[in-house]
Structure 1
Amino acid sequence: MSQFNNNIEPNIIDDKMVQKAIEEQCPEDLNLAEREAINFKDVTELQLSFRNILQIDSLWHFENLTKLQLDNNIIEKIEGLESLVHLAWLDLSFNNIEVIEGLDALVKLQDLSLSNNRISKIEHMDTLQELQIFSIGKNNLTTLEDVIYLRRFKNLRTLNLAGNPLCEDQRYTLFVVAHLPHLVYLDFRLVNDTTREAAVLKYQDLTELLELEEAEALAQLKEKQAKQKELEYHTAAFVEYLNGSFLFDSLYAEDPEAAKLAYLPGVADLLQTYRKEFVLVCENLFNYGLEEHEKREAEVSSFCESLRAALMANQQENRKIILDFECRHKRRLDEIHNARSYDIAESKRAESKEDILQLSEALMTLEMLIADQLEELIKDFKRNIADIASTFIENVKGRMTQCRDLEDRHHERLLEICISTLEKSVKNELEEDLPDDVRTLLVDKTTIVKALDTSHGIRLLKINKRESDILCSTYRWQASVTEKAFQNEIDRNRDCIKKILQYIDTLQEELDNITIVEPVQ
């Protein structure tokens, strides 16, 4: 059906279509009401073949779908699949698709069929690392070298390319087998050892070069990932980019006047000293930040462990009480069923009611005790977190004050050099031959002071901004971790009370539903 026909009315996937498809897939023993009541989120397989579908849409409900058939339609574009993150099997064969796209979210896809379409290039599939079976036969693939793209799929074992123009190339079979060494089946045929050996021999030089390039690319990727992971760790410690000259370099990133002033006698040495001292303060702050991050993590870990221990002890006590009760409760229910008289049965029922009431009180008391215990635990945690955050903040402020002091001293010394150079220039006593753009700064004292003060102010703002970023991150973390602890406890307490009430109601309902029949005399 992968052609337009004037007599065909194109369809777009809608709720009515998918509901009908689901009903058709349901077991025959389900009645219509049961079929209509099926939640789209519970559907794992969906067949929408031969339905004249032009556009993929309305599938976002099916978030747990693992198998989707859209073959034999008139689909032109792969789209609308973003929410199907659990999809393992996808059939889009016999459509009008020209470009491979829209598959990025399908990271669990293992079997993909795009055969009998109009595709001319294998591309845009990088995220499909679980791919094992790929069928793209009878398309418009012409370039044999495009097959090399498939080397990235290390799990690919079955490939169908039959019916594409590239298959007419006499190199086809050996080229594909050589470049996809893990392939087991090609075009529905088992790749035998003879073919594999011939392919390796013919294309060994090319494949070895590819392997070297891939190994280098993999090494670069791992290095990039390691750096990214390290940066994430530094960011979690709130001291990212403080392990070096990043902050110092940023102070001068947009200050062309500073580069000009470096030509003045003594300024280069002054700047080098300033840089060395400033970077040292930053690195000290960086190392301190990592140490404090470990302390924060240890405090959170200790709190979580204490929380787990308290809850485990509470749960064990709960289980003991419930087991003891259920033994008694079962015995009493048997006694009620087997009572020799109505009065005896009613007496046993009354005892059960009282026992249920006592169980409710016991469970509620236990919950109240654990709630009080956890409340104190969380309060201690909040105080500890506040102390840790306060200590960190004070130390950050101290070190950033050192950075500002260094900037102030540098500014004062730079100003002295500039004024001295200006005076020598006015008296024609300046020995150095300065560039013209530097001399334009040495017009008069007012001009040079204004230029230096502007640069100084910008650098102080950048230092203040970095300090503010660290403090804000710390405050946010402090609020987040403590508020989360309190909210989790509120949610746990409510959930626990709800479960107790439901359990007690179930017991009471079970007891109330026992019909007592007075024995016949």
Structure 2
Amino acid sequence: MSQLYDSIEPNIIDDEMVQKAVEEQCPEDIEKLVKREGINFKDVTELQLSFRNILQIDNLWQFENLTKLQLDNNIIERIEALESLVHLVWLDLSFNNIEVIEGLDTLVKLQDLSLYNNRISKIEHMDTLHELQIFSIGKNNLTTLEDVIYLRRFKNLRTLNLSGNPFCDDEQYMLFVVAHLPDLVYLDFKLVSDTTVKVAVLTYQDHTKPLEHEEAQALAQLEENQTKQKELEYHKAAFVEYLNGSFLFDSMYADDTEAAKLAHLPGVGDLLQAYPSWFVSVCENLFNYGLKEYEKREAEVSNFYESLHEALTANQQEGRKIILDFENRNKRVMLSYFCCLIHDFSICQLLISLRMRSKQAEYKEDILQLSEALMTLEMLISDQLEVRVKHITERPHIQNTGGHFAVACRDLENHHHEKLLEISITTLEKSVKNELDEDLPDDVRMLLGDKTTIVNAVNASHGSRLLKIDKRESDILTPKLSWSPLCTREPGKGPWQIFQNEIDRNRSRVKEIVQYIDNLQEELGNTEILDLTK
């Protein structure tokens, strides 16, 4: 179909084209309005750009809420510039010149994809399309039947069109596809019968069983990794990640080349047997303490939000009650006030005028009392929230023990260093006296050349491990500066944000009260009083 456009100049999608396309798909009764006032592309959910001789996809980023896009019957050569259309559910790229499946990674909501009648030779690069239900890739250049196995990852795929590809000429085509995709309902526009499924599964069971086993293993591994990642995130929230085991100890020696050499010295092996268990014990003690503190903190966070909600709700209800009482009370005042206005002026005019002024003064005083009551109520809730926020943000947590943890680790490392230095000097002395029986590697014997060399090596190793301890201490202590119970719900926000939220709420409420009182006073001031004494 696209060959029909060979004599026409190719197009690139531009603003004029998409504007015209949007106008054309509008109902006739509002098309003129759209042309006159324009339309916000963010409001467009469906867009048809078929038969426009488009060579290159571009300028669609404005349609961020698009769910359906038709680009069929053009001369498009590459799938590109679609990454912003993350809400797409339906995409038609049929009858184009596309050779490679690509550029679909962000379209994770896509359910219906048509690549019919293109030049594609391999099914690939669709891993993120987990929601895919309908896939048409018929009349392309697919020659390898085994490529269909790629589609097993799409667990929701029920309709598939492969017709017109070279591999369809294989006499085992249908059975192969159905055997490897047994959940298909329609294949090449035909309903897949239960009989076909049974025959296909039986015919290719030797091929599919290993696949099922591999997929089960992969799924189990994925679930295990997800569980570990979830557990790690939990530990990070408690500031104790990688403290439940030998992670920190192992990292101390991972890049320490001097330690690897010194380990060959006689007696160091025995020293290294005891050191890890002591070090790991200190880490695990902090780990267990940190988890307990985190649970307490989460409980306090929950109570904080609950009490915060209760306090604000009670305050709002009390404020509404005060205003309702004011309005009910002053309905009677104003009714009496206006009765005075329509009274027969020929009778007791002076008395009427005085009564009117009395009612006005009474209403004015009631407004002042209302303002005072609402402001007092706001001051009380503000004080209450300040106390609650201060309590939750100043609660001690695991960082308070971070320093003790680092001290304990340094003490162990210093003790180990002293023993290692002692062994190294003793070994050097034996080497000088030719009393060293052990056969040491050449690089280790080089360390025993003189006292300065061996001492520098031991100190360098010690310094490297202390840096790792310092780094872990910093990781524990640094979050103290930004930690907030709200971090579990608003990542990256510290205690200051809680106070700022309350300040903003208080300012907004005070402004609301002031505006309400000003409106009441303005209404009162606008009410004319007849001076009946004149």
Category of TM-score, reference length = shorter chain: 0.7 to 0.9
Q: How does 1:274-353 map to 2 (within 5 A)?
A: 274-317=275-318
The Cα of 1:23 is off from its aligned counterpart by: 1.6
Contact residue 49 and residue 69 of structure 1 kept, 8 A: yes
- Give identity over the alignment, percent: 70
2:116 corresponds to: 115
1:434 aligned to 440, 446, 456, which one? 440
- Structure 1 505/172 Cα, relative in aligned 2: closer, same or farther at 3 Å? farther
- Does structure 2 conserve the Cα–Cα contact (< 8 Å) formed by 1:310 and 1:370? no
Secondary structure of the residue aligned to 1:134 is strand
Q: Which amino acid aligns with 1:483?
A: W
Deviations 1:332-391 (A, max 9, x none): 999xxxxx9899xxxx9xx99x999989996996587347524542443234332324xx
- Higher-Rg structure is 2
In structure 2, distance between residues paired with 1:4 and 1:296? 69
Shift of 1:510: 13
Moved more, 431-440 or 284-293: 431-440
Aligned mates of 1:164, 1:332 — CA distance in 2: 87
> What are the ranges of 5 or more consecutive residues in structure 2 without an aligned counterpart?
336-340, 345-355, 485-491, 525-534
Query: Residue in 2 aligned with 1:12?
Result: 12
The equivalent residue for 1:382 is: 390
Change in Cα spacing, 1:138 to 1:61, as seen in structure 2 (3 Å) is: same
> How far, CA to CA, are the matches of 1:11 and 1:365 in structure 2?
69
SS of residue in 1 equivalent to 2:493: helix
Look up the SS of the partner of 1:440 in the other structure.
Answer: helix
What is the rounded CA distance, in whole Å, between the counterparts of 1:64 and 1:333 in structure 2?
53
Partner of 1:518: none
1:488 and 2:501 aligned: yes
Return the letter of the residue paired with 2:207.
Answer: L
**Is the contact between residue 158 and residue 186 of structure 1 (CA under 8 Å) also seen in structure 2?**
yes
Query: Which is worse superposed, 421-430 or 265-274?
Result: 421-430
Question: How far apart, in 2, do the equivalents of 1:398 and 1:462 lie?
Answer: 16
Shift of 1:475: 1.9
**Contact 2:367/2:521, CA 8 A, preserved across alignment:** no
Separation in 1 of the partners of 2:93 and 2:450?
76
Q: In the superposition, relative to structure 1, how do residues 130 and 368 fare at CA in structure 2: closer, same or farther (>3 Å)?
A: farther
Matched to 2:45, the amino acid is: T
Aligned partner of 2:348 in structure 1 is: none
Deviations 1:465-508 (CA, angstroms, capped at 9, x unpaired): 11112111232224933223233334545666787899999999
Query: Are 1:461 and 2:467 counterparts?
Result: yes
Per the alignment, do residues 258 and 143 of structure 1 end up closer, same or farther by CA in structure 2, a change over 3 Å counting?
Answer: same
Question: Which residue number corresponds to residue 52 of structure 2?
Answer: 51
| 2:11 counterpart letter in structure 1 | N
For 2:9, give the aligned amino acid: E
Q: Give the conservation status (yes or no) of the 8 Å contact 1:3–1:96.
A: no
2:135 touches 2:160 (CA, 8 Å); kept in 1? yes
The answer as to whether partners of 1:238 and 1:474 remain within 8 angstroms in 2 is no
Q: Which amino acid aligns with 1:40?
A: F
Once the two structures are TM-superposed, the CA of residue 433 in structure 1 deviates from its matched residue by 3.0
CA change 1:161–1:328 in 2 (3 A) is farther
Name the TM-score, length of structure 1 as normaliser. 0.86
Contact persistence 2:382–2:506 (CA under 8 A): no
Q: Secondary structure at the match of 1:21?
A: helix
For residue 204 of structure 1, report the CA deviation from its aligned partner. 2.2
1:68 Cα shift?
A: 1.1
Q: State the one-letter code of the partner of 2:483.
A: W
Task: Give the match for residue 519 of structure 1.
Answer: none
After superposition, the Cα gap between the structure-2 partners of 1:316 and 1:173, relative to the gap in structure 1 and judged at 3 Å, is farther
Q: 1:3 Cα shift?
A: 4.0
Residue 184 of structure 1 aligns with which residue?
Answer: 185
- 2:102–2:126 CA contact under 8 A, matched in 1: yes
Change (3 A) 1:276 1:370: same
> What is the rounded CA distance, in whole Å, between the counterparts of 1:342 and 1:73 in structure 2?
83
Matched position secondary structure for 1:159? strand
Alignment of 1:79-478 (within 5 A): 79-317=80-318, 366=374, 369-370=377-378, 372-374=380-382, 376-389=384-397, 392-478=398-484
One-letter identity of the residue aligned with 1:15: D
SS in 2 for 1:68: strand
Which ranges in structure 1 are unaligned for 5 or more consecutive residues? 335-339, 512-521
Comparing 240-249 and 290-299, the one that deviates more: 290-299
| 8 Å CA contact 2:142, 2:166 repeated in 1 | yes
TM-score (norm 2): 0.84
Determine whether 1:42 maps to 2:48: no
The Cα RMSD (Å) is 3.9
Give the 3 Å change call, closer, same or farther, for CA 501–124 of structure 1 in structure 2.
Answer: farther
Q: Would you say the 8 A contact 1:4–1:74 is kept in 2? A: no
Structure 1's 384 and 193: CA in aligned 2 closer, same or farther, altered over 3 A? closer
What SS does the aligned partner of 2:65 have? coil
